[in-house]
Amino acid sequence: MSSNHNSRRQFLKSSSVVAAGVSMPYFFSAKPGMAFATESKNDRVPIGLIGAGGMGCGNMRAASQWVDVVAIADADQNRQQSANKQLSGGKADIYDDYRKILERDDIKVVHIATPDHWHTKPVIEAMLAGKDIYCEKPLTLTVDEGKLIRRVQEETGRVVQVGTQQRSTFNLFTKAIALVKQGRVGKIKRMSAAIGGAPASPGIPVVDVPKGLDWDRWLGPAPAAQYRWAEKKNKKKWQRDPTNGHYEFRWWYEYSGGKLTDWGAHHVDIAAWALEANGQSNAVVSIDGNAKHPVEYKNGVPQQTDRYNTATSFNFTVKFAGGAELVIRNDTDNGVLIEGDKGRIFVNRKKLVGKPVEDLATNPLPEDAVKEVYKGFDLIEGERKGHWANFLKCVDERKEPISDVHSHMRMLNICHLTGIAARLGRGIKWDDKTEQIVGDSAANSMLKRKYREGYEIEMNSAKPAAVKS
Ligand SMILES: NC(=O)c1ccc[n+]([C@@H]2O[C@H](COP(=O)([O-])OP(=O)(O)OC[C@H]3O[C@@H](n4cnc5c(N)ncnc54)[C@H](O)[C@@H]3O)[C@@H](O)[C@H]2O)c1
């Protein structure tokens, strides 16, 4: 362990806590007999990274004070090499097939940051192989995949944190939820989640697959497709070339849900959490609205295959059983607006504003109000870093993390159902008990997807835990 690095426990002990907007020194009550890695002289967590792209590497840097990346799997050998160099000084074992990581006994924790279409399968297989998992959002591409993940998580008892790190931003989103729970906005009537729209692209030509990228493996469970890429002319520094591969997979419904799941997973999560914290139902009753796509859709399927196909603009109203409404839209300032019968607040990654926030000067939140909505966990500063700290603590203490599978799937279903309504061009009604769309067999068929042959989920993994397959 590098002497420049605090050990995980040291960091957790010496970090500051944020409560009701005030930073103060805090000391963890480290419990004796923590289940994981605490008896070791070196209490750093060996981790297997599956998907070493932008977010996978970014997360490993965020957690670098506590974890050692000992194995890396990626479908692109260029990314295996560069991640190995930057994250572990070239010392990690590298693999084309992530299942090699799942077979290793010395790795008990994995981070999955593959494209969205490649989440459910490794998450299930990792749970069955006895691993704890931090998986990037959105956890699934479909409602039915969520049901399977929920079941296997319950049966295996693995710790699964989803990468919706807004839940670990204590002075912003977490505090907004605390304000709601303390009754400062009253009964929630209406909310809005503004999440931006997907970009459109020109037709992107089929080209040779770049050296080192295993395109068949990258596609995995998704339908067979040719690799597309074009050099973007006059691009600004931050802009990427259009492709159906790295990063830009977000704008193809075959691999993602577009903005509805990419950013919906963040902001719809806050809206659903607000209802739950306020004791109001977040069971969906109906979803209605409109969307524009850059290509024509017929029966929910895009009719052109050479360009981005997820919605560029949309405005949907989600009605909940308790009477509240949520508008999911692309056309206004990114963030979440929560309006109740006593007040309204707006929150995004930069600010938390509204009269209930101003009133804190004279009427502060109770001392532990933020911690209370954070499931009573200690608050470790630093968004992604705090989210990782929460995960690692839950691994130690065998607890359910702040972004757990159940709350995640509850809100992700809202995003998936909105995506189905967008692609079909009609509203839907939802039966929350049976988890079925009412009276619409075409829409119900979109609650699941067909896995490409050879990439089905392996329910009989090498080391099955207590799961009946
Ligand atoms: N929480 C957040 O704020 C946040 C931000 C960005 C991205 N994300 C999420 O992180 C995930 C990755 O996004 P990204 O921007 O890093 O994409 P990316 O394209 O940069 O990285 C994905 C990597 O996964 C690899 N991969 C594909 N198939 C694989 C397989 N079978 N096994 C191993 N590796 C495989 C790819 O080759 C690529 O290197 C997405 O689900 C995205 O939604 C979350």
Q: Output the pLDDT for position 50.
A: 99
Tell me the average pLDDT across 423-446: 98
Q: What is the pLDDT of residues 165-202, one digit of tens each?
A: 999 999 999 999 999 999 999 999 999 999 999 999 99
- pLDDT tens track for 124-161: 999 999 999 999 999 999 999 999 999 999 999 999 99
* Amino acid, single-letter form, for residue 465: A
Q: Pick from 50, 74, 165 the residue to mutate for probing ligand 1's pocket: most ligand atoms within 8 Å of its CB.
A: 74
Cα-atom radius of gyration of the chain, to the nearest Å? Answer: 22
Instruction: Tell me the backbone φ, ψ of residue 328, rounded to 5 degrees.
Output: -105, 120
Q: Residue 21: which pLDDT band, with cuts at 50, 70 and 90?
A: very low
Per-residue pLDDT, 42: 63
**Domain parsing of the chain, residue ranges:** 8-166+386-404, 173-375+406-445
> Ligand 1: distance of its center to the CA of 282 in Å?
29
Residue found by looking up tokens 């590497």 in the block: 57
3-state secondary structure of 142: coil
Nearest CA to ligand 1 atom 1: 163
Q: Can you give the pLDDT at residue 233?
A: 86
Distance CA 18, CA 174 (A): 10
Angle at 271 between CA 387 and CA 440, to 5 degrees: 115
Q: What is the mean pLDDT of residues 267-281?
A: 98
3 state DSSP class of 461: coil
Nearest CA to ligand 1 atom 28: 218
Question: Span 173-375+406-445: which CATH code?
Answer: 3.30.360.10
Residue nearest ligand 1's atom 39 by CA? 53
| Nearest CA among 181, 232, 186, 226 for reference residue 208 | 226
Tell me, in angstroms, the distance from the centre of ligand 1 to residue 56's CA.
6
| Residue-wise pLDDT tens digits, 276-321 | 999 999 999 999 999 999 999 999 999 999 999 999 999 999 999 9
* ∠ Cα 174 20 372 (to 5°): 55
Predicted confidence (pLDDT) at residue 9 exceeds the cutoff of 90:
no
Q: How many angstroms is it from 187 CA to the middle of ligand 1?
A: 38
pLDDT of amino acid 19:
34
pLDDT recorded at residue 427? 98
Compute the distance from residue 103 Cα to the ligand 1 centre, in Å. 22
Q: How far apart are CA 255 and CA 258, in angstroms?
A: 9
Whether the per-residue pLDDT at 465 is higher than 90: the answer is no
Nearest-CA residue for ligand 1 atom 9 is 136
Task: Measure 247 CA to ligand 1 centroid, in angstroms.
Answer: 7
114 Cα nearest atom in ligand 1: 24
> Could you report the per-residue pLDDT of 68-124, keeping only the tens digit for each?
999 999 999 999 999 999 999 999 999 999 999 999 999 999 999 999 999 999 999
Is the pLDDT at 338 greater than 60? The verdict is yes
Residues with CB under 6 A from ligand 1: 50-56, 73-76, 79, 98, 113-116, 118, 136-137, 163, 165, 217-218, 220, 246-247, 262
According to CATH, the topology of domain 8-166+386-404 is Rossmann fold (3.40.50)
The pLDDT confidence band at residue 461, using thresholds 50, 70 and 90, is low
The three-point CA angle 168-350-65 to 5° equals 40
Instruction: Select the more confidently predicted residue: 370 or 24.
Output: 370
- Spacing, Cα 52 to ligand 1 middle (Å): 7
Task: List the one residue out of 88, 65, 69, 87 whose CA is nearest residue 6.
Answer: 65
Alpha-carbon separation of residue 32 from 37, 132, 288 (angstroms): 12, 21, 52
Instruction: Examine the pLDDT at 22 and tell me if it is beyond 50.
Output: no
pLDDT for the residue numbered 31: 27
What does the DSSP 8-state code read for residue 6? P
Distances (CA, A) of 15 to 7, 25, 389: 12, 7, 10
Confidence tier at 234 by pLDDT (50, 70, 90) = confident
Query: Beta-strand (E) ranges in 330-400?
Result: 335-340, 344-347, 352-353
Task: Judge residue 89's burial from the number of C-beta atoms within 10 Å of its C-beta, 0-12 exposed, 13-18 middle, 19 or more buried.
Answer: exposed
CA distance 196 to 191: 16
H-helix or E-strand spanning residue 13: helix 8-14
> Is the pLDDT assigned to residue 209 strictly greater than 70?
yes
Quote the mean pLDDT of the chain.
90
CB atoms within 10 A of CB 180: 26
Q: What is the reported pLDDT for 205?
A: 98
Is the predicted pLDDT of residue 59 greater than 80, yes or no?
yes
pLDDT at position 303, please? Answer: 98
| Spacing of C-alpha 28 from chain mean position | 27
CB atoms closer than 10 angstroms to residue 27:
11
Q: Residue 434 belongs to what H/E stretch?
A: none
- Choosing from 81, 100, 114 the residue with most ligand 1 atoms within 8 A of its CB, the one to mutate for a pocket test is 114
360-411 pLDDT, tens per residue? 999 999 999 999 999 999 998 888 999 999 999 999 999 999 999 999 999 9
